[in-house]
Homo-oligomer: A and B are copies of this chain.
């Protein structure tokens, strides 16, 4: 397992499908790097875009980097921006939306595949 030092924009960004309009994702540190317990991802949501309103048996740990967004978790909507932290526990319904004129960018950590409930 090798150390990794990289600028985020040197890491490939993949576009989500139609269920997440305007959303792209980069795997900053993941299984391919040898990450033992969690995958560190960067999500970018363009103005007007959103992730699906959904739930799954694993958690999210988020840190907002730039832009403004709305996070709905367990039925409550929060306006968030740079410096906000969000914890979405396993099994809790959640959705992220860009709420400004700039791209809404945040980190999103999830368990590695073998640890996803």
Contact status A3-B92, CB under 8 Å: yes
Binary contact track A10-25/B, C-beta < 8 Å → 1, others 0: 0100000000000000
A84-B6, A85-B7 are known contacts. Are A109 and B109 too (CB-CB below 8 A)? yes
A76 neighbours in B (Cβ, 8 Å): 3
Interface of A is mostly: strand
Interface assignment of A107: CB less than 8 Å from any CB of chain B: yes
A85-B40, A90-B1 are known contacts. Are A63 and B28 too (CB-CB below 8 A)? yes
A61-B35, A83-B7, A115-B37 are known contacts. Are A1 and B107 too (CB-CB below 8 A)? no
Contact status A87-B37, CB under 8 Å: no
Chain A interface residue count, Cβ-Cβ cutoff 8 angstroms: 45
Contact status A86-B4, CB under 8 Å: yes
A63-B28, A63-B63 are known contacts. Are A90 and B36 too (CB-CB below 8 A)? yes
